[in-house]
Amino acid sequence: MASPSFAPQSARERRLSLAEIDALVSARLGSTRGLGNSQPACFNRQIAMYLAARVGRWSTTIIGRFYGGRDHSTVCYGIQRIESLSETDPEIDALLADLRRRLCKDGDNSGVEMPTAPFKAERLELSDNEIERIAAAVAEKICALFTTELKTRFPRDFRGALGE
């Protein structure tokens, strides 16, 4: 039976905030905010959305909320558009590489090195026997704490129910 990994995530796994990503894109390209689909704010926003999804690992729903309550499908379209442009336009690809480098760099704005691939912790393999033993110990501890809490809060009401 496979068991979940209980290895802690390292400090370098801190997610970049949407505001940090937006600030970097705005500083490099210009405002990401504008009325409707005005250019270049729309393009700049799509770049920021792409980086938020791919580097910051934010969901399209949260990214959409950050950018004025846009629908997640709008965010998906923006991400796909930037991916498509980066495949065909070397300037866009170079721009994305530079922005990624700046976001991931141990530097002034974040101080955090972001991994290029998702974090993969080592798996802690336990036998079924070990899992059952741990589960029993946890259950016993929870029952003891619960019993103590009941005795403290309701001494008269639960005296008979607790076998006393």
For residue 158, tell me if it sits in a domain: yes
The CATH number of whichever domain residue 97 belongs to comes to 1.10.1750.10
Residue 12 DSSP code: G
* pLDDT at res. 160: 58
**Residue-wise pLDDT tens for the chain (164 aa)?**
444 444 444 444 567 889 999 999 989 998 888 776 777 888 999 999 999 999 999 999 999 999 888 898 999 999 999 999 999 999 999 999 999 999 887 344 443 333 343 444 455 677 888 888 888 888 898 888 888 887 787 777 665 555 55
In this structure, the answer to whether residues 148 and 87 fall within a common structural domain is: no
Which amino acid, residue 86?
Answer: S
In this structure, the answer to whether residues 21 and 47 fall within a common structural domain is: yes
Residue at token pair 């005296």? 159
In this structure, the answer to whether residues 53 and 79 fall within a common structural domain is: yes
In this structure, the answer to whether residues 89 and 137 fall within a common structural domain is: no
* pLDDT at res. 124: 61
* pLDDT at res. 58: 92
Residue 9 DSSP code: P
* pLDDT at res. 82: 94
* pLDDT at res. 5: 45
Domain span holding position 37 = 14-104
- Report the distance separating Cα 132 and Cα 135, nearest Å: 5
pTM of the predicted protein model: 0.57
- Report the distance separating Cα 79 and Cα 93, nearest Å: 13
What region does 159 belong to: left with phi over 0, alpha with psi -120 to 50, or beta?
Answer: alpha
Question: What sign results for the dihedral spanned by CA atoms 95, 99, 102, 104?
Answer: negative
